């Protein structure tokens, strides 16, 4: 090889290396973006399910104070659990209150109230001048995935439509008083054991 000249083999090898390097650097961020997206959605689904089944909501009487006519002017956060009869500080985790559940379903069935719920649950970041928001859906199901009914109507199966979206789902085992639902498939004593399913997507 003459001084100052590169061989054709070296030029081809360098070209292949650069082409491969550029391809890999463009491909990797997309792979990790999907992983980050899944982690984010899983976190949101877990957080929402925990809020609904481990907290009575804010204020304590939100389900009595909020209705379709004032949901945009009231500040509230839904929580579905029963507060124990022995005192205000005794929460019955995973024990759903029928009145709270019905009120939550009623509010989720109205577009304006659903938007307010999403805002107070931290799912609509447009209030922070962002264009980012989540879709979500909440349902109460038997263990065989049939929807729990009250007076022949779904007790809770409300939210956005997730057709064609990448959805993250999180389920929590909950219970209600057996006498409050029409079609309980699994009961333990006076309790109807079911699952609360939260689905979240972007």
Please give the C-alpha separations between residue 119 and each of 70, 90, 126, 128, in angstroms, as whole numbers. Answer: 15, 28, 9, 10
pLDDT per residue rounded down to tens, the chain (202 residues): 556 566 777 778 888 888 888 877 776 666 555 545 667 788 889 999 999 999 999 998 999 999 999 999 999 999 999 987 655 567 888 999 999 999 999 999 999 999 999 988 888 777 666 667 788 899 999 999 999 999 999 999 998 887 667 788 899 999 999 888 999 999 888 899 999 999 998 8
Start-to-end Cα distance in the chain: 59
Rounded Cα–Cα distance for residues 140 and 147 (Å): 6
> Which residue from 95, 104, 106, 105 is spatially nearest to 192, judged by alpha carbons?
95
Residue 47: in which H helix or E strand, if any?
A: helix 8-54
Please give the C-alpha separations between residue 110 and each of 22, 69, 142, in angstroms, as whole numbers. Answer: 50, 10, 25
pTM beyond cutoff 0.85: no
For 147, residues 6+ apart whose C-beta sits below 8 A from its C-beta are 139, 140, 141, 154, 155, 157
> Which residue from 197, 124, 199, 166 is spatially nearest to 38, judged by alpha carbons?
166
> Which residue from 68, 44, 140 is spatially nearest to 101, judged by alpha carbons?
140
Rounded Cα–Cα distance for residues 156 and 48 (Å): 15
Please give the C-alpha separations between residue 70 and each of 5, 65, 66, 75, in angstroms, as whole numbers. Answer: 80, 9, 6, 10
Beta strands in 62-183 (DSSP E): 77-78, 81-83, 91-96, 135-141, 149-150, 153-154, 157-159, 167-177
For 61, residues 6+ apart whose C-beta sits below 8 A from its C-beta are none
Rounded Cα–Cα distance for residues 150 and 96 (Å): 14
Check residue 194 and give its pLDDT.
Answer: 95
Cα angle vertex 152, ends 146, 153, to 5°? 75
């Amino acid at each position: 090889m003459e001084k100052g000249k590169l061989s054709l083999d070296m030029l081809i090898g360098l070209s292949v290396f650069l082409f491969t390097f550029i391809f890999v650097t463009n491909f990797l961020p997309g792979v990790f973006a999907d992983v980050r997206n899944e982690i984010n959605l899983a976190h949101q689904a877990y957080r929402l399910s925990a809020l609904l089944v481990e907290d009575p909501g804010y204020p304590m009487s939100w389900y009595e104070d909020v209705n379709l006519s004032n949901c945009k002017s009231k500040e509230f956060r839904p929580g579905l659990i029963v507060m124990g009869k022995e005192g205000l500080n005794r929460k019955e985790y995973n024990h759903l209150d029928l009145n709270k559940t019905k009120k939550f379903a009623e509010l989720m069935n109205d577009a304006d109230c659903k938007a307010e719920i999403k805002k107070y649950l931290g799912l609509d970041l447009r209030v922070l001048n962002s264009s980012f928001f989540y879709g979500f859906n909440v349902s109460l199901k038997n263990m065989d995935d049939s929807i729990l009914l009250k007076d022949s109507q779904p007790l809770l199966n409300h939210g956005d439509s997730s057709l064609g979206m990448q959805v993250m789902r999180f389920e929590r085992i909950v219970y209600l008083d057996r006498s409050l639902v029409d079609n309980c498939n699994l009961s333990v004593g006076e309790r109807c054991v079911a699952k609360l399913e939260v689905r979240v997507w972007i």
